[in-house]
Structure 1
């Protein structure tokens, strides 16, 4: 695995994440790390025929979240190289299939893309949590969900695509994702504060079945074929987008 930091900035977090990652996995293509000056720039990856690119803000690259975020992005790169359905199938095509014949408001369609991203993150973090510690991820998900419930911005940099100040319905789905991911890997005890936060999120969104979404995320099959993954995404999309009162034929 070849990691190259092309911008002025710390290299240690990315090389440290590389050391963890390569205990069990590898990447065929080199990883080019670009540290951006924009403090609001989210961490994201791009994939090309000859390389992967990891984009990260300087603020995040110098934070305690830099190494776990890099490890998370390496896991996405690995899923891409594996041609995992979650990372190569067209989300737009699956959503079009799921919502054919229905009229859905724009904000809810945006949320459906977020649900698809959560499913990608589940599969990426199956790798992440097999090689790295879960403590920073647990803390991040807890603080992010608490911030969303309180309807205020959250200071820590993004791990996944949980949205601060989101409306109650997608916040409930975000809570379901957080619990599902951590339960899937036995990362939290039954009395963890995340359960109280998720209960509060569910109470704020009575039309969203948090337990059902948690089950969907947690029970995603380890190695789906294209048809299985497409159907899982279609079913999750329909459950969210076509809730009573949220869509019209």
Structure 2
């Protein structure tokens, strides 16, 4: 696997991630790692005819999670190369099918794209958890969720222990879906026990977003089929989009 790091960051985390990936998967195209100074854009992958690009912020590239973040993006690249339906189905097409003729808030529409990314993340992390321990990933998800829950509108006394408030309020609705994603991924791979703190955080997130059904969303993420056809994935993406944007998931809870 050909990996070249541009931007002055230490190459070791990226080479280590590549070594992990190649124990089970191989990329046909080379990867260019571009380290960027914008800390708000943590990581994202781009795909071209003859190569992939892993864009990563300098902050992320030099963090304790650098290897795991790189491995996650390499897994997306592997899914793309294998033509996995989650990475070939157009999000725009599915959202059009789900929301045609409906009036949807702009923030909700933006959240729908984030939820589509979560569905792709499930399939990428099926690879990452297959080739590397999932403990650091769970710690990362727990930390992200704790910050979002602490940051949500509401009395500080309602926040779970250890959840420190941040500077900008989070959106409770998408935080609840993010909690469902974290639990769905963790349960899909048996990574946590029933008393894990993620469950406490998810309950707090659900309380902050009473119109969102955390359990049904968790079930959707956890039960995504391993090798969907494009029709399968489009159906699932349309269904979860309707559930979130049109507010009918709570009724199924």
CA distance in 1, matches of 2:60, 2:100: 40
2:12 aligns with 12
Would you say the 8 A contact 1:7–1:35 is kept in 2?
yes
| Structure 1: unaligned runs, 5 residues or longer | 153-163, 245-249
Match of 1:53 in 2: 53
Corresponding residue for residue 204 of structure 2: 200
Counterpart for residue 212 of structure 1: 216
After TM superposition, the score normalised by the length of structure 1 is 0.91
| Aligned mates of 2:74, 2:143 — CA distance in 1 | 24
Match of 2:233 in 1: 229
CA offset digits 1:208-248 (Å, max 9, x no partner)? 1110000000000000001010000000000111116xxxx
Deviations for 1:146-180, whole angstroms, at most 9, x for unmatched residues? 1111117xxxxxxxxxxx84311111111000000
Instruction: Write out aligned runs for 1:74-85 (5 A).
Output: 74-85=74-85
1:70-149 equivalences under 5 Å are 70-149=70-149
| 8 Å contact from structure 1 (residues 149, 165) kept in 2 | no
Question: Aligned partners of 1:26, 1:228: CA distance in 2, in Å?
Answer: 26
The CA RMSD over aligned residues, in Å, is 1.2
Alignment of 1:29-40 (within 5 A): 29-40=29-40
User: Secondary structure of the residue that 1:34 maps to in structure 2?
Assistant: strand
Per-residue Cα deviation, 1:171-193 (whole angstroms, up to 9, x for no partner): 11110000000110111111100
1:177 paired to 2:181? yes
Q: Which protein, 1 or 2, shows the higher relative CO under an 8 Å CA cutoff with sep ≥ 6?
A: 1
The Cα of 1:7 is off from its aligned counterpart by 2.4
Give the Cα separation in 2 of the matches to 1:39 and 1:233: 30
The answer (yes or no) to whether the contact 1:33–1:55 under 8 Å persists in 2 is yes
Q: For this pair of structures, how many residues does the alignment match?
A: 233
| Residue ranges of structure 2 left out of the alignment (5+ in a row) | 153-167, 249-253
Q: Give the Cα–Cα distance (whole angstroms) in 1 for the partners of residues 224 and 196 of structure 2.
A: 23
- Work out the CA distance in 2 between the residues paired with 1:132 and 1:118: 19
Q: Which residue of 2 aligns with 1:247?
A: none
